[in-house]
Amino acid sequence: MLHVPVDALTDRHTRILDAAERCFARAGIHRTTMQDVASEAGMSPGNLYRYFPSKDALAAGLAERDRAQLAADFGFLAEADDFVSAFKALGRKHFMEEPRERSVLCLEIWAEATRNPNFAAMTHAFERELVGRMSGLFADAQRRGRLPGTLDPHAAAVMVSTLANGLFVRRAVAPGFDAEREVAAVLTMIGAVLRGAVDLSPSVQPEKT
């Protein structure tokens, strides 16, 4: 699996990653060439290859950048007095304030993960880290008395991730997507999950006769 250290992301790296993000969202990862990214970034292909040797490396760089943003966002949440309200505000940022192209890019990465082992490993690692960070965040909020002690942090993190992924898909492909209504509905559900109003215990399987 490709890995690009966060501290290696210089201004030039940032410009290239921004260009790759636009190209991937506009034309798709499979159809985008390194030449396309170089042109979008305003540099020669040879110069681009000095920083990123392949599209897989570009995707790894985008993932590292998202990890850094995730860490910053969750660090802010850890200090919030009203944890649920702060978490919902973070949801509005990602699902309403961020460009729709970010959702399109998510779908592109997921699609590429079905046929490219590097993308599959990267996607799995990112999801595992996301759920792990949320689990830890929820457990810490419990210790501080900001979430109910009965909440299962891991189950809640998986549920939030599932709801968020569905919203990414809706925002990317649904022609009649109503951001105000649909984002509000999902955030209401997430709020209910975090307040312990949703039973997240495993379903009891009926006995075989």
Task: Annotate 38-98 with DSSP letters as a single string.
Answer: HHHHTS-HHHHHHH-SSHHHHHHHHHHHHHHHHHHHHHHHHT-SSHHHHHHHHHHIIIIIS
Query: In 3D, which of 7, 113, 97 has the Cα closest to residue 59?
Result: 113
Residue 139: predicted pLDDT:
96
- Do 52 and 33 contact (CB within 8 A), yes or no? no
Query: In 3D, which of 96, 77, 78, 68 has the Cα closest to residue 187?
Result: 96
The string of pLDDT tens digits covering residues 176-203 is: 899 899 999 999 999 999 999 998 887 5
Residue 203: predicted pLDDT:
57
Using the predicted structure, report yes or no on whether residue 36 has a pLDDT greater than 90.
yes
Measured distance CA(100)–CA(94) in Å, rounded: 9
Using the predicted structure, report yes or no on whether residue 208 has a pLDDT greater than 80.
no
* Domains in the chain: boundaries: 57-194
Measured distance CA(181)–CA(128) in Å, rounded: 29
Mean pLDDT for all residues in the chain:
88
- Do 122 and 4 contact (CB within 8 A), yes or no? no
Using the predicted structure, report yes or no on whether residue 44 has a pLDDT greater than 50.
yes
Architecture per CATH, domain 57-194, reads as Orthogonal Bundle (1.10)
Could you identify the residue written with the tokens 């201004």?
A: 11
Using the predicted structure, report yes or no on whether residue 1 has a pLDDT greater than 70.
no
Percent of the chain with pLDDT over 70: 92
Using the predicted structure, report yes or no on whether residue 24 has a pLDDT greater than 70.
yes
Measured distance CA(70)–CA(68) in Å, rounded: 5
The string of pLDDT tens digits covering residues 50-80 is: 999 999 999 999 988 888 888 888 888 888 8
Using the predicted structure, report yes or no on whether residue 9 has a pLDDT greater than 80.
no
